[in-house]
Each structure stands twice: as structure tokens, then as C-alpha cells.
Amino acid sequence: MAIIAMDREMGSGGKDVAAGVAGALDASLILYEIIDHLADRMRVRKSHVVRLLEDGDDLEQVLTPEATMPAILSPLEVLEIASVPEPVVLRGWGATALLREVGHVLRVRITAPLEMRVSNLKERVKNPNEDKIRQEIAFSDEAHSAIMRRHFGIDYTDPALYHLVLDTSKYTINECIERIAAASLDGRFAETEISRLRLASLMTETHVKALLKLHPPTRNVAIDIAAEGNQVTLSGAVPSTEIRDRCELVAWRVPGMTGVRNELEVSAQ
């Protein structure tokens, strides 16, 4: 069965769609926001906190980093969840881009016109101040756009990123659920040896990137990492032979790594 990666757009009704799809397919529902790597887990929310609005939430409540911690995942954690051989619905920011090369991932965006999003939230939150709701939606959309650009270099509103774009002003929540559930059973999204290999390769690439970020001497290197299964090729330019060798050593620390091809070149000083 396909993994379903759903984009999160505040007030669109996507929360209900995701829950309905998970129920219809007997799948786990994961609500998350992706961050670049685990080293940023604490500081990423100190500048701003993006709400995961649920029924009855209070817009006046200040959300702390600690309160949102369970919903903050690294790309590697998202990939680990996607690798579990069970149906899953990933609803948040990032999985649609992170998993776009994996053939058994169905990528979905749930959207709605602004006025409908405002109206939806006025019915769901405590103290429904319209100006505050509009401010929250604008903030959420801005943060959404910034995160997707920063991590993946894409515009989250680009329909080419998705297999399905559903507008809840045109389709009911149940119709959206039915369309997504039906699409997930389409043979085009069946898990194959090729799609499993791509997911495994993506995990290897992401694990190497994460370790490079966590290792102080290599934290700021910008290199290309390409994997096939548990083998990886490093390419690009680094400032010194020492950094070149350290990148290779870090890559070898990924569990299960069977080969590291080091094609890094030392930049002329």
C-alpha cells in the first residue's frame, strides 16, 4: 500500500481529511513538522512556533519549544517512519518534497480559499478573533513557504509537487477522503523493488548529511551525496585534505554502510 504524504495548510480541513484517510485505510497518522537536522531541534522553535491547531485550541496560548517538540521530526526520522512496512499517513510540512522520488508515495495537497479557512478556524478555536485568525494563517503560510524553500528549494504551492490537489470548497471532506483512499490503492503507487531501493538510498544520503551536520569540522561543508542502497558517493569541493578525509570517515559511520566513494576535490587556496 502507498505511503500518503499530505501537505498541511491551516484551516483547509486537511486535519479531518488526514484523519479520515487514516481511518479508511487502517493506517497510522503522523502529525509533524520537518527540520533540517536534529541539532536544530531545540532552537528552531525559539524564533517562531507553528501551530498544529486542533479542536478547541486557544489562539492566545503561547506555544513553547517543549510543547511542540513531539511534532518536530528530522528528515531521517520521517524516512524511518516511511520505511516501516505498515500503512501510514504523514501530514505536515516536508514529506511531500522529501519523498518525491519514492514511487510508492502518494503526494497530496489539501487547500481552500482564504475566507473559507478563516471561517473554518472561527468554528474550531477558543476565543475566535477574526483578526488573530487571519494573522495566524498568514504567519503559517509564510513559515510553510520559508521551510519548504530552505530545506528543499521548492514552492509548496506548485501543483507539480503533488499527485492530487483537492480544494475543500469544491469537494466535501468525505469526497476528499474517498479520492485519496482510492488513489492510494492504484497500482501506480504499489511498493516495488525499485521504490524500496530509492527509499533506502534516500535514507543513506540523509543519514550521511545528518552526521556531517553534527560533526563540528564538517558542519558547514556543502557537498553532493548520492547513494545506491548502502553505498554512497561524495562529490564537490572542500577546503582541505583533512576535511576531505573527515567527510569520508563520517560517511563510514552510518550503520550498514558498505561502500564510500570519495570524489571530493580540495579547492585551490
| Structural domains for the chain | 3-189 (3.40.50.300), 193-266 (3.30.1340)
C-alpha distances (whole Å) from 246 to each of 149, 151, 205, 213, 257 are 29, 24, 16, 12, 16
User: Is the pTM for the entire model greater than 0.75?
Assistant: yes
- In DSSP terms, which residues pair with 42 in a beta bridge? none
What are phi and psi for residue 244, nearest 5 degrees? -55, -50
Low-confidence ranges of the chain (pLDDT < 50): 38-56, 58, 62-70
Give SS3 for 185.
Answer: coil
163 within 8 A of 183, measured Cβ to Cβ: yes
101 within 8 A of 198, measured Cβ to Cβ: yes
- What order do you get walking across the sheet with 164-167 strand by strand? 72-73, 28-34, 88-93, 3-7, 105-111, 164-167
196 within 8 A of 177, measured Cβ to Cβ: no
Please give the Cα distance from 98 to 82 (Å, whole number).
11
How buried is residue 36: exposed, middle or buried, by Cβ count under 10 Å (0-12/13-18/19+)?
middle
Please give the Cα distance from 31 to 8 (Å, whole number).
9
H helices of 74-172, in order, are: 75-83, 95-98, 114-124, 130-152
3-state helix, strand, coil in the chain (%, to 5): 50, 20, 30
- What order do you get walking across the sheet with 224-228 strand by strand? 224-228, 231-238, 259-266
Please give the Cα distance from 192 to 255 (Å, whole number).
24
Please give the Cα distance from 129 to 149 (Å, whole number).
30
Q: Which segments of the chain are extended strands (E)?
A: 3-7, 28-34, 72-73, 88-93, 105-111, 164-167, 224-228, 231-238, 259-266
194 within 8 A of 102, measured Cβ to Cβ: no
